[in-house]
């Protein structure tokens, strides 16, 4: 997924973009409210989407003017942003492409398709609308302005993501990471100015002029952009295909929904589906991490400083996961769950994580176990996962605790262990011999 950041010149503005894959056709992705061409594509579900799309296309992503790595002080009318898409396509040598936009990016996609029919091979819209001030899914101006005031006052605290993904509203780690993403993508003033300007955009009169084959996807229970807005688009755009996707979150954070989206896009523009098939059951080393004394530290630092420290902690963990070829599965509590295809790398990754967190004043405990796991999209389950969680709970501060299975599999690696005796693991049959990494 490595791809350098490049810049396209659009008038006086520099627009940051990246190109993934080398497929026979091009797809341009138009982001929603926020964009950052580096951080956005580090999210596991977004990486999964790229993996799916690059199997049959070259994918071009970019930052809107005023956000991410594009020029921050550039004016951003809808007309200028349409010109930015054209400039990015020119820089990436894409004469014609499928334009795929979601949420706030939808009106931009619609105007681009109506303005440049020769450059629009197909149009794909997800969770979007034609207008926020009128028609299906409209919002009254007063509550919208009140929301913008709250957003400005609490920018960088994950408020926007809490509304976009209500299923993760109590996930403190997700909110901390989302706050970091918000701060990196835009300033409070710029995001409010953009959203205030977006409220007055109305492209309903353009819908009948869209000539490109159009696919519209919308989540049935979307609370941020009601499903009626998507149905309206399908009714007004000639020949549009409409697909309702299960779920309530506006933001797509799971691989299963990304697979549904990718399946529909692939079939729509190629006529076929070739979903990547992963084994249902694999042998993996499962890692659980947990911060020692997190409750006390959070009380000591206060919510804001604790969120910042927690975000820095996840940055360290994820960097080491990338170095040691680990795969993040999920976050839990104040730690994360990851898998590795080799137990020795998992051990070395765990030790390095612990060492690099010490300068932040944090200690972690880590548990590792190797066994067969059931794969369901991005998630893993099975007895091996439960055992790894129980082993982690028995580790001491700054300690990596492993099962005898892990110890036996790394024989000859030079890694040394100390016996920690037999243990009964809650919910797991039998006695388990555990070891700590020296």
pLDDT of residue 278 exceeding 60, the answer is no
Residue 298 and residue 198 share a domain: no
CATH code for the domain of 55: 3.40.50.1820
Total domain count, the chain: 2
pLDDT digits (tens, 9 = 90+) for 339-359: 998 899 999 999 999 999 999
Do 300 and 234 fall within a single domain? no
- Residues 90 and 23 grouped into a single domain: yes
Is 172 within a domain? Answer: no
- pLDDT, mean over the chain: 91
Residue 329 reports pLDDT greater than 60: yes
What is the C-alpha separation between 92 and 383, in angstroms, rounded? Answer: 47
Please give the pLDDT value at position 255: 86
In this structure, the answer to whether residues 324 and 223 fall within a common structural domain is: no
pLDDT at 277 over 60: no
In the chain, the percentage of residues whose pLDDT exceeds 90 is 65
Question: What's the domain range around 52?
Answer: 6-155+189-270
Is residue 210 in a domain? Answer: yes
Rounded to an integer, the average pLDDT of 356-367 is 94
Does the structure show a pLDDT above 60 at 279? no
Domain boundary among 270, 294, 326: 270
Whether 276 has a pLDDT exceeding 60, the answer reads no
- Write down the pLDDT at residue 74: 59
Whether residues 334 and 222 share a domain: the answer is no
Q: Is 275 contained in some domain? A: no
Do 263 and 287 lie in one domain? The reply is no
- Size (the chain), residues: 438
pLDDT in the model for residue 161 = 84
Q: Check whether residue 53 and residue 199 sit in a common domain.
A: yes
Average pLDDT for residues 180-185, to the nearest whole number? 92
pTM above 0.85, yes or no: no
Q: Are residues 329 and 349 in the same domain?
A: yes
Q: Is residue 165 in a domain?
A: no
Q: Do 386 and 429 share a domain, yes or no?
A: yes
Contact 368, 287 (CB under 8 A): yes
Task: Count CA atoms closer than 13 A to 315's CA, side-chain side.
Answer: 14
C-beta separation of 195 from 151 below 8 A: yes
User: Which residue did the predictor score with more confidence, 393 or 74?
Assistant: 393
381-393 mean pLDDT? 89
The pLDDT tens digits for 93-136 are: 999 999 999 999 999 999 999 999 999 999 999 999 999 999 89
Element (H, E) at 84: helix 78-91
With DSSP H G I counted as helix, E B as strand and the rest as coil, what are the percentages for the chain, rounded to 5? 45, 25, 35
Binned at pLDDT 50, 70 and 90, residue 88 comes out as very high
| 347: region left, alpha or beta (phi > 0 left; psi from -120 to 50 alpha) | alpha
- 115 burial (CB, 10 Å; 0-12 / 13-18 / 19+) is middle
Decide if pLDDT at 67 tops 80: yes
Q: Give 106's DSSP letter.
A: H
Residue holding tokens 């909110």?
A: 175
Query: Which of 270, 295, 310 marks a domain boundary?
Result: 270
Q: Say what the pLDDT of residue 154 is.
A: 92
Residues 208 and 340 in one domain: no
Outline where 237-302 has alpha helix (H): 255-270, 294-301
């Amino acid at each position: 997924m490595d791809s350098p950041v490049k810049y396209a010149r659009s008038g006086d503005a520099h627009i940051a973009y990246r190109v993934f894959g080398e497929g026979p056709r091009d797809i341009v992705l138009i982001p929603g409210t926020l964009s950052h061409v580096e951080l956005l594509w580090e999210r596991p579900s977004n990486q999964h989407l790229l993996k799916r799309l690059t199997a049959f296309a070259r994918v071009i992503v970019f930052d809107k003017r005023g956000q991410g790595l594009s020029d921050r002080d550039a004016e951003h009318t809808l007309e200028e942003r349409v010109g930015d898409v054209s400039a990015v396509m020119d820089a990436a040598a894409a004469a014609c492409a499928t334009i795929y936009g979601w949420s706030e990016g939808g009106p931009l996609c619609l105007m681009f398709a109506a303005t440049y029919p020769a450059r629009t091979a197909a149009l794909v819209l997800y969770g979007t609308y034609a207008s926020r001030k009128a028609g299906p899914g409209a919002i009254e101006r007063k509550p919208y302005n009140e929301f913008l005031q709250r957003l400005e006052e609490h920018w960088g605290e994950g408020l926007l993501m809490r509304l976009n993904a209500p299923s993760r509203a109590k996930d403190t780690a997700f909110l901390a990471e989302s706050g970091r993403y918000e701060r990196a993508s835009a300033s409070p003033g710029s995001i409010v100015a953009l959203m205030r300007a977006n409220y007055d955009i109305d492209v309903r009169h353009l819908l009948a002029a869209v000539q490109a084959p159009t696919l519209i996807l919308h989540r049935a229970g979307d609370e941020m952009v009601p499903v009626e807005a998507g149905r309206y688009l399908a009714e007004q755009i000639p020949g549009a295909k409409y697909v309702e996707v299960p779920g309530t979150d506006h933001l797509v954070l799971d691989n299963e929904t990304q697979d549904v989206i990718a399946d529909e896009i692939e079939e729509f523009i190629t006529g076929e589906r070739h979903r990547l098939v992963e084994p249902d059951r694999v042998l993996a080393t499962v890692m659980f991490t947990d911060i020692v004394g997190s409750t006390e530290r959070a009380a000591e630092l206060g919510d804001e400083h604790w969120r910042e420290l927690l975000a820095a902690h996840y940055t360290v963990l994820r960097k080491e996961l990338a170095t040691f070829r680990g795969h993040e599965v999920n976050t839990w509590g104040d730690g994360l769950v990851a898998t590795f295809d080799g137990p020795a790398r998992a051990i070395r990754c765990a030790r390095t994580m612990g060492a690099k967190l010490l300068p932040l004043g944090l200690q972690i405990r880590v548990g590792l176990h190797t066994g067969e796991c059931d794969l369901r999209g991005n998630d893993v389950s099975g007895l091996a996962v439960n055992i790894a969680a129980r082993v982690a709970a028995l580790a001491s501060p700054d300690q990596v605790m492993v099962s005898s299975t892990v110890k036996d599999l790394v024989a000859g690696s030079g890694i040394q262990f100390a016996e920690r005796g037999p243990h009964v693991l809650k919910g797991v049959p039998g006695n388990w011999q555990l070891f700590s990494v020296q």
